[in-house]
Structure 1
Amino acid sequence: MKKLILTSCVLFGLMFTFNSNSYAQESSDILVGGGLIYGTEVEAIGIQAGGKYAFTPEISGAADFAIYFPENFDWWELNANVHYDFLAEEGMKVYGLGGLNYATMSFSVDFGEFGSASGSSSEVGLNLGGGAEFDVDFANVYTELKYVLGNADQLALSAGLRFNI
């Protein structure tokens, strides 16, 4: 499974590097940013950072890293999604998304004189959802709702800012 994820990431990166005739390079439609995220399975708020690259006027690729802050364990995830714009009007886009999710959970407990215990788990899932993006003077405000299908099923709601570079 790790080889599949690594191969997918390498291919995704090569598409960005060698796609010299792409829409994004013609219009400089590369966005980076971050925001807040809430997950229903982890039941915690986290922070998210990522980027978005437009292949065509309707299709974009997006990747992000999110780390949640629950009290008793650590949870972080990587996401690689494809966005399809269903509605694109001046100053607003509404899109559907689908992609891959890789989540890692770990914990550590110290029992004092009796020792300690720790464990971790990694899960791969599918992202399905949608979002909206609104142009403001200095950035784009986005909000997304996605469901992760897999062993770490969760509904995630995120919102933040993306800046054009």
Structure 2
Amino acid sequence: MENTGILTVFLSLSFSANAQENIRLGALIAYGTEIESLGVGVNAEFPVIENLTVSPSFIYYIPKEGSGFKMNWFEVNANANYYFVSQADMGVYAIGGLNYSSVKLEYDGSYPFDMDTSDGRFGLNLGAGANFELGGITPFAEIKYVIIDEGQLVLGAGVKFNL
């Protein structure tokens, strides 16, 4: 039991030391094909082991309005990025992870047809991305498919800052 505790502390310190060197925080612009709208978001990247990072993100899509309807949509992602190309100036990675999407629909019609409804769903993310190293700034581009109901293709680009 004592050896397990020592091993746990050693691994935690190793991951913490590695993570502090390469943590990235960023911002992005995205386009979702199901909502057909632009979104803005934030993301991060935390190294776990060589060639593998955990990358949470949040995207809020610009609300769509028309014919009395208004649709609000956001998504929260918990992805793992596996770098299969990792060079000094560029990294290419596969994306796999979990997605939570929330959609709220409001209808401002005349009484008795006012309506508010919302729904949240869990899905899976599959995709790819690339980072382009420019010193402490890392521009990136990603494409992912969210496997959820009708599905949604999300194209994103932005910049990450090395901490």
TM-score normalised by the shorter chain: which range applies? 0.7 to 0.9
- Alpha-carbon RMSD: 1.7
Residue 74 of structure 1 aligns with which residue? Answer: 72
How far did residue 67 of structure 1 move? 0.4
User: Does structure 1 retain, via aligned residues, the 8 Å contact 2:99–2:146?
Assistant: yes
Can you give the 5+ residue segments of structure 2 that lack an aligned partner in the other structure? Answer: 1-10, 65-69
Equivalent position to 2:88, from 82, 87, 90: 90
| Percent identity between the two aligned chains | 32
Residue 21 of structure 1 aligns with which residue? Answer: 14
TM-score, structure 2 as length reference: 0.84
How far apart, CA to CA, are the structure 2 residues paired with 1:92 and 1:57? 15
User: Does structure 2 retain, via aligned residues, the 8 Å contact 1:32–1:52?
Assistant: yes
Residue 60 of structure 1 aligns with which residue? Answer: 53
Tell me which amino acid in the other structure corresponds to 1:29. Answer: N
More strand by share: 2
TM-score, structure 1 as length reference: 0.83
How far apart, CA to CA, are the structure 2 residues paired with 1:123 and 1:26? 31
User: Does structure 2 retain, via aligned residues, the 8 Å contact 1:43–1:70?
Assistant: no
Runs of 4+ in 1 over 4 A off after TM superposition: none
How far did residue 21 of structure 1 move? 1.6
Equivalent position to 2:148, from 144, 147, 150: 150
Task: Give the secondary structure class of the aligned counterpart of 1:80.
Answer: strand
Task: Give the secondary structure class of the aligned counterpart of 2:49.
Answer: coil
Aligned residue pairs: how many?
Answer: 148
How far apart, CA to CA, are the structure 1 residues paired with 2:54 and 2:93? 12
Tell me which amino acid in the other structure corresponds to 1:121. Answer: D
